[in-house]
């Protein structure tokens, strides 16, 4: 039977971990364990999550005869050939980026962006017969919450052998590389996230709308954070301290003191580093929330040396991609915001001469149906992803072009009655995508096997889009 004091200690520490460190800062906790790991050059990885299920089939469009199949399947949703920015792949021929994404086309043409074709959650390579026979399928296909979690954990079921994020595995490796520093190497600009969850290490949540400030007022716990901003924090901390004192357990009091001390040190380090690296303002519309998040990411990347970090991991998110209705009207704004954010961020990273050590990539709940529901698209499965940066072996499409035809399509999951659904079965697994990025960050094969247990089901475990 577990000691009730230990149970109370865990509860108090969990509450402390979620409290803000200072204005705009919170820390999400792991258990503090970490394994030894080897380290190489300084590197930063940025996950750009497009929440809601992004219609990537209208971001990157096939050319040649496949365009005709694409147009016939998408009907009124299809992008006109005149609205495409033509690019080519040496093996697979012509494609086109949506004209609303000129910055992605520019990076592709500069060989700094690769397209991962038809990628999604998979437990093992899956055929149409496997889908129809429900053989080893990911849990709750086409459901937002489950598919987001499976994408971010690389698992096949929500409570499977890997309940932690594969970004969390990278952050554990990063923590080992960074040594004994005040700030965790993993940051979310969008609150809590499964992608950075780890049993071993913390991650910091930052609010891009609020400047990071020091904690202060150490002689009065209720004044640590300005009441006008976070009026309940001092009261909550007072209650926690009182409970710790009432327990009569010095371990709880020591744990609270250590947590508060770490919070103070982390906030001071972040404040000092960010003040030293304001960076020129990225050029973007002030209402672009994704660009605002990425600007803070750029400042933290520029602050790697001041923070004592060899490795960093970041999570940002852009919502609004669940385009069941009014897709034709909504997509231009979404694509314009994504294009602006990615372009301004990469230009900033180029400007501080850190392009070769920063890699960014997109992810989403799932792709969308090729077919129209009359006013938009429904939840799909596979979709295209984009990875970019100076270390990316770009200017090419990773994976085979899927079949876009509406009849006898071997890549289509199909409706229950056997009719065309336009839900494409992925050919590239999130596990393969994750493993390729994780290796670039220096994660060992043993760590990969633990973080991505289904990776062993795929013959190709490195997709080859990252340069050494």
Q: Which residue has the tokens 């709940």?
A: 365
Q: Rounded CA gap, 246 and 240, in Å?
A: 10
Average of pLDDT values for 287-293?
96
Helical spans, DSSP H, in 248-326: 250-276, 289-302, 304-307
For 136-175, what is each residue's pLDDT tens digit? 999 999 999 999 999 999 999 987 656 799 999 999 999 9
Q: Rounded CA gap, 105 and 98, in Å?
A: 9
Q: Is the per-residue pLDDT at 34 higher than 50? A: no
Q: Tokens at residue 144, please? A: 């937002």
- Residue 465's SS3 state is coil
Q: What is the pLDDT of residue 248?
A: 66
Q: Is the per-residue pLDDT at 29 higher than 70? A: no
Q: What is the pLDDT of residue 417?
A: 84
Number of residues assigned to the chain: 468
Q: Which domains does the chain have, with CATH numbers?
A: 31-211+277-457 (3.40.720)
- On whether the pTM is more than 0.85, the answer is yes
For 344-400, what is each residue's pLDDT tens digit? 999 999 999 999 999 999 999 999 999 999 999 999 999 999 999 999 999 999 999
Q: 260 falls in which pLDDT band (50, 70, 90)?
A: low
Q: Rounded CA gap, 205 and 189, in Å?
A: 6
Q: Rounded CA gap, 121 and 99, in Å?
A: 28
Q: Tokens at residue 436, please? A: 């390729």
Question: String of b and e for 343-365 (b: at least 16 CB within 10 Å)?
Answer: bbbbebbeeeebbbbbbbbbbbb
Q: Strand 93-98 to strand 60-62: parallel, antiparallel, or no bridges (unpaired)?
A: antiparallel
For 416-425, what is each residue's pLDDT tens digit? 888 999 999 9
For the chain, give the percent of residues with pLDDT over 70.
Answer: 81
Q: What is the pLDDT of residue 309?
A: 95
Q: What is the pLDDT of residue 278?
A: 81
Q: Rounded CA gap, 213 and 207, in Å?
A: 12
Q: Which residue has the tokens 């839900």?
A: 423
For 298-334, what is each residue's pLDDT tens digit? 999 999 999 999 999 999 999 999 999 999 999 999 9
Q: In sequence order, what are the beta bridge partners of 363? A: 49
């Amino acid at each position: 039977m577990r000691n009730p004091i230990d149970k109370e200690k865990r509860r108090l520490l969990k509450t402390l971990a979620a409290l803000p460190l200072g204005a705009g800062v919170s820390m999400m906790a792991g258990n503090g364990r970490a394994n030894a790991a080897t380290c190489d050059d300084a590197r930063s990885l940025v996950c750009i999550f497009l929440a809601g299920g992004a219609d990537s089939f209208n971001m990157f469009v096939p050319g040649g005869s496949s365009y005709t199949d694409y147009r016939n399947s998408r009907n009124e949703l299809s992008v006109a050939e005149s609205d495409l920015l033509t690019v080519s792949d040496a093996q697979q021929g012509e494609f086109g980026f949506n004209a609303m994404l000129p910055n992605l086309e520019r990076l592709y043409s500069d060989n700094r962006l690769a397209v991962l074709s038809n990628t999604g959650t998979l437990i093992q390579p899956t055929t149409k017969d496997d889908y129809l026979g429900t053989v080893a399928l990911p849990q709750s296909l086409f459901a937002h919450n489950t598919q987001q979690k499976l994408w971010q954990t690389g698992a096949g079921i929500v409570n499977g052998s890997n309940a932690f994020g594969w970004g969390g595995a990278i952050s554990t490796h990063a923590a080992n590389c960074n040594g004994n520093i005040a700030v965790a190497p993993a940051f979310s600009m969008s609150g809590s996230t499964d992608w950075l969850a780890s049993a071993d290490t913390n991650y910091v949540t930052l609010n891009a709308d609020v400047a990071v400030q020091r904690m202060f007022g150490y002689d009065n716990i209720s004044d640590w954070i300005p009441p006008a901003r976070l009026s309940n924090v001092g009261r909550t901390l007072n209650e926690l301290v009182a409970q710790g004192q009432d327990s009569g357990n010095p371990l709880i009091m020591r744990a609270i003191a250590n947590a508060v001390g770490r919070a103070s040190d982390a906030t001071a380090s972040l404040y000092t580093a960010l003040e030293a690296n304001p960076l020129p303002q990225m050029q973007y519309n002030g209402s672009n929330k994704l660009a605002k998040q990425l600007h803070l990411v750029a400042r933290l990347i520029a602050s790697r040396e001041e923070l004592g970090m060899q490795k960093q991991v970041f999570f940002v998110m852009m919502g609004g991609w669940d385009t069941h209705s009014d897709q034709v009207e909504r997509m231009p704004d979404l694509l314009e915001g994504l294009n602006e954010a990615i372009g301004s961020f990469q230009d900033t990273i180029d400007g501080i001469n850190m392009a070769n050590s920063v890699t960014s990539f997109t992810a989403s709940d799932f792709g969308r149906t090729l077919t129209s529901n009359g006013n938009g698209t429904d939840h799909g499965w596979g979709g295209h992803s984009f990875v970019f940066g100076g270390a990316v072996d770009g200017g090419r499409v990773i994976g085979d072009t899927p079949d876009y035809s509406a009849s006898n399509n071997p890549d289509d999951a199909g409706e229950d009655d056997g009719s065309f659904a336009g839900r494409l079965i992925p050919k590239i697994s999130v596990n393969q995508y994750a493993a390729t990025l994780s290796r670039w960050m220096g994660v060992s094969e043993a760590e990969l096997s633990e973080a991505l247990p289904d990776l062993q089901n795929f013959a190709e475990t490195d997709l080859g889009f990252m340069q050494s």
